[in-house]
A and B are shown apart, each in its own frame.
Chain A
Amino acid sequence: MQLIEKLSILADAAKYDASCASSGAPKRSSEGKAGLGSTDGMGICHSYTPDGRCVSLLKVLLTNFCLYDCQYCVNRRSSDVPRARFSPEEVVTLTLDFYRRNCVSGLFLSSGIIRSADYTMEQLVRVAKLLREEHDFRGYIHLKTIPEADPALIAEAGRYADRLSVNIELPTDASLQTLAPEKQIGSIKQAMQTIYTGEQTVLNEPRAPRFAPAGQSTQMIVGADDTDDSTILHGAEALYGNFKLRRVYYSAFSPIPNSPKSVPLAAPPLMREHRLYQADFLLRSYGFSAGELFEGPGHLALDIDPKLAWALEHREVFPLDLNRAEPTLIARIPGIGLRTTQRLVDLRRERKIRFEDLARMRCVLAKAKPFFITSDYHPQQADSTSVLLREQLRDRPQPQQMGLWG
């Protein structure tokens, strides 16, 4: 099979993994050196596809042959898809070619499970090793980690890769047992623990060899089972806490050809995935806890963002005086982000904040208006009920264009 045909099959097979980050790597440069590539901590999105997703890395599977039969996966063994397998050298050639063209910042390599977990992991590591040692490649490498692989192989992967990831796949053990019977939650968490331990071992040891300096991430498929958002986000919170994950990616289940009956035929609304990312951001950067976002079991609202939802449930906190409030509280005002918060704090050192200042900052004024006070403004809506406010502030769905063929 021609390389180009393999590429088409193995890129198509890799598109369901949402992660494409190339950030968090240490500073590396090839200036004046043999070889190729640099990293500086910032990710670069080299292109965008019409689904709005960024292309940052060459994201392919080494092979889409797979022994497992995960129901949500297009590459499951019972799936009737064309199959292909790259040699490690072929992946190296493609990575370097795309890198020289400045089309990507590195490689994100994953694989179906062939022969055994150890064999598959060895092949993945071999690609990274070839890139780093034979070609002096200093760009970004993200390796998918096969959970059942020998911890020694995972440790070796950590020496070559900037980022490792083990996919948790589904939010609950029960769903994993139903939909991915060959996968064990125990070995997934064990692999996360191995990576976490590897990171901790070299922490504060500047002369130790690097270990996955961009940390680990995971992916959870949303909408292939009936788990609610509350369970999903409590699960994510635990992963951030227990294994210091850098990111949890949420991937709305994408319908696959010849879908088995065990998974839905339709995708969940993409808005659900979007709301999960917003809530996840509140956990990572705004100091929210999952418990604050959910009173009990259930989903996030689709028509309002989770910060607005929280504010409507906690009217006693608002309106906040922007000239006095703590920055962490200002950042909890709907429509005001971390950047605007910092700008408000800088400005109020010089003078009183006025309403028109907000209009000139990058914030969503309509959303923020009921929740703050400035020296010249007090919101009329401060006394409106939350029900009324929600009605005024919720996103109204755009009228949908009907499909051309009904």
Chain B
Amino acid sequence: MISLECDNLFGTWREQARWLLSHQVDPSQVSWGEAQAADLFATDEPILAGLGPFQARIPKALLELLESAACYHGDQRWSLLYEVLWRVSHGDRTAMLAGDKLGSELQRRIKQVSREAHHLHAFVRFVALPPEAGPELPEYVAWHEPAHDILKSASQHFIGRMGRHRWMIATPLDGVYYDGQQLIHQRHCPEAWQQLAQNVEDPHSAMWLTYYSHIFNPARLNPKVMEGHLPSRFWKNLPEGKLIPSLISEARTGKQKDGQAKMIGSKPGKRIASGQG
């Protein structure tokens, strides 16, 4: 049994897998663990330098699938990829297709990862630091808790979106900072970044909260659909998250008669005479 550790880096895993494959090491003979666990079960045999005789041919698309699935946090994160690689390189391409047992799991992970990248694009909320913070600090900061390793690649999206602005996204694991010219990724998010993102004050959030409350149509209340699209794990980091329970209960007790928010109905109305502009 060979026990490996790749520091959760795809590049490292890829080199290890290449070596294993060239020496025809069967997937049942190898496992990847977390750093500490790997030490306990480390193999006695030193890993031979140099590649073995087996030359694997794999479709180019497979590498992209593996790299994407590698971002998935879950059991057998790396050994599953090696099993797929093993089967495909031995001529069984079904291992990368949905329908096959292993292929379905691979595709499911890829789907989850791309969903999580999309969640980053959608649910990150930037808060402006006060202008006197100075040019050494980002202008906008966000705290986000992704379920998979998507920050580094998915945060590129904000370069196009935010123009020359400086921004930072901190997470419990890693962090990115765009200084107006380049994107800096820290695998271990500096504590200072985390504190900045978690403690920032937002004195101007009322506009967005007002908008959110008023664009909601209580006559069409459907919390189940909402939770399907906006999983509740994100609520705590969204400013509008804390409005959700009360909007739901107000709609329920208001018996959903019509779509208008209560507060609008209590204001004086104005009929317009025909022909007036």
User: A residues near B, CB below 8 A?
Assistant: 3-4, 7-9, 11-12, 14-16, 28-38, 40, 44-55, 58-60, 65-67, 69, 74, 77-83, 94, 97-98, 100-103, 114-115, 136, 139, 252, 254-257, 259, 267, 270, 343-344, 346-347, 350-351, 353, 357-358, 360-361, 403-405
Q: In the complex, which residues 113-132 of chain B have their Cβ closer than 8 Å to any Cβ of chain A?
A: 118, 121-128
Q: Say which residue of B211, B265, B273, B277 sits within 8 Å of A7 (CB atoms).
A: B211
Interface CB pairs A-B, < 8 A, 9: A7-B207, A8-B264, A30-B162, A36-B165, A47-B230, A50-B221, A254-B217, A360-B98, A405-B255
Structural contact, A353 and B259, CB atoms closer than 8 A: no
Structural contact, A102 and B204, CB atoms closer than 8 A: no
Query: What's the Cα separation between A58 and B207 when bound, in Å?
Result: 11
Q: Say which residue of A16, A97, A358 sits within 8 Å of B259 (CB atoms).
A: A16
Structural contact, A97 and B204, CB atoms closer than 8 A: yes
Structural contact, A15 and B208, CB atoms closer than 8 A: no
Query: What's the Cα separation between A101 and B269 when bound, in Å?
Result: 33
Chain B residue at minimal CB-CB distance from A45: B122
Structural contact, B101 and A360, CB atoms closer than 8 A: yes
* Residue B163 lies at the interface, judged by CB distance under 8 Å to chain A: yes
Structural contact, B255 and A403, CB atoms closer than 8 A: yes
Structural contact, B214 and A15, CB atoms closer than 8 A: yes
Structural contact, B210 and A7, CB atoms closer than 8 A: yes
Nearest CB on A from B103, distance (A): 8
Chain A residue at minimal CB-CB distance from B273: A77
Structural contact, A361 and B223, CB atoms closer than 8 A: no
Which residues on A sit within 8 Å (CB–CB) of B162? 30, 36, 100
Query: What's the Cα separation between A40 and B101 when bound, in Å?
Result: 34
Which residues on A sit within 8 Å (CB–CB) of B270? 80-83
Structural contact, A8 and B272, CB atoms closer than 8 A: no
| Centre residue among A79, A136, A350 by max chain B CB count within 10 A | A350
Knowing A255-B258, A347-B100, the reply to whether A115 touches B277 (Cβ < 8 A) is yes
Structural contact, A81 and B222, CB atoms closer than 8 A: no
Task: Beyond the given A8-B263, A78-B271, please list 20 additional residue pairs across the A-B interface where CB-CB is below 8 A.
Answer: A3-B207, A7-B214, A8-B264, A12-B260, A12-B264, A30-B162, A32-B181, A34-B164, A47-B230, A48-B225, A49-B212, A51-B225, A51-B226, A52-B226, A81-B264, A82-B269, A94-B211, A101-B127, A102-B124, A403-B255
Knowing A77-B271, A78-B271, A82-B267, the reply to whether A53 touches B217 (Cβ < 8 A) is yes
| Centre residue among A45, A50, A77, A267 by max chain B CB count within 10 A | A50
Structural contact, B100 and A8, CB atoms closer than 8 A: no
* Residue B22 lies at the interface, judged by CB distance under 8 Å to chain A: no
Nearest CB on B from A117, distance (A): 12
Structural contact, B272 and A12, CB atoms closer than 8 A: no
Q: In the complex, which residues 90-146 of chain B have their Cβ closer than 8 Å to any Cβ of chain A?
A: 93-94, 97-101, 104, 118, 121-128, 140, 142
Structural contact, A48 and B264, CB atoms closer than 8 A: no
Which residues on A sit within 8 Å (CB–CB) of B163? 30-37, 136
Structural contact, A79 and B219, CB atoms closer than 8 A: no
Q: In the complex, which residues 204-263 of chain B have their Cβ closer than 8 Å to any Cβ of chain A?
A: 204, 206-208, 210-226, 228-230, 238, 240, 244, 247-248, 251-253, 255, 257-261, 263
Nearest CB on A from B164, distance (A): 7
Among all A-B residue pairs, the 10 with the closest Cβ atoms: A52-B225, A29-B160, A80-B269, A30-B163, A38-B160, A357-B99, A49-B216, A52-B222, A11-B214, A77-B272
Chain B residue at minimal CB-CB distance from A401: B252
Q: In the complex, which residues 131-180 of chain B have their Cβ closer than 8 Å to any Cβ of chain A?
A: 140, 142, 157-165
Which residues on A sit within 8 Å (CB–CB) of B36? none
* Residue B268 lies at the interface, judged by CB distance under 8 Å to chain A: yes
Which residues on B sit within 8 Å (CB–CB) of A33? 163-164
Report whether over half of chain A's contact residues are helix, strand or loop; otherwise say mixed: loop
Structural contact, B217 and A100, CB atoms closer than 8 A: no
Nearest CB on B from A116, distance (A): 8
Query: What's the Cα separation between A353 and B163 when bound, in Å?
Result: 49
Structural contact, A37 and B161, CB atoms closer than 8 A: yes
Chain A residue at minimal CB-CB distance from B139: A100
Q: Say which residue of A65, A139, A254 sits within 8 Å of B272 (CB atoms).
A: A65
Query: What's the Cα separation between A272 and B217 when bound, in Å?
Result: 18
Chain B residue at minimal CB-CB distance from A65: B272
Which residues on A sit within 8 Å (CB–CB) of B247? 49-50
Knowing A35-B163, A79-B271, the reply to whether A54 touches B229 (Cβ < 8 A) is yes
Chain A residue at minimal CB-CB distance from B277: A115
Query: What's the Cα separation between A15 and B208 when bound, in Å?
Result: 15
Chain A residue at minimal CB-CB distance from B270: A83
Nearest CB on B from A86, distance (A): 13
Structural contact, A47 and B240, CB atoms closer than 8 A: yes
Nearest CB on A from B41, distance (A): 32
Structural contact, A360 and B264, CB atoms closer than 8 A: no
* Residue B29 lies at the interface, judged by CB distance under 8 Å to chain A: no
Structural contact, B220 and A53, CB atoms closer than 8 A: yes
Which residues on B sit within 8 Å (CB–CB) of A37? 161, 163
Structural contact, A256 and B260, CB atoms closer than 8 A: yes
* Residue B274 lies at the interface, judged by CB distance under 8 Å to chain A: yes
Structural contact, A257 and B220, CB atoms closer than 8 A: no
Structural contact, A353 and B99, CB atoms closer than 8 A: yes
Chain A residue at minimal CB-CB distance from B140: A100
Nearest CB on A from B49, distance (A): 36
Q: Say which residue of A30, A55, A80, A81 sits within 8 Å of B212 (CB atoms).
A: A55
Query: What's the Cα separation between A4 and B127 when bound, in Å?
Result: 19
Q: Say which residue of A44, A79, A346 sits within 8 Å of B97 (CB atoms).
A: A346
| Centre residue among A94, A136, A347, A404 by max chain B CB count within 10 A | A347
Structural contact, B226 and A67, CB atoms closer than 8 A: no
Nearest CB on A from B226, distance (A): 5
Which residues on B sit within 8 Å (CB–CB) of A30? 160-164
Nearest CB on A from B91, distance (A): 10
Knowing A16-B217, A50-B244, the reply to whether A343 touches B98 (Cβ < 8 A) is yes
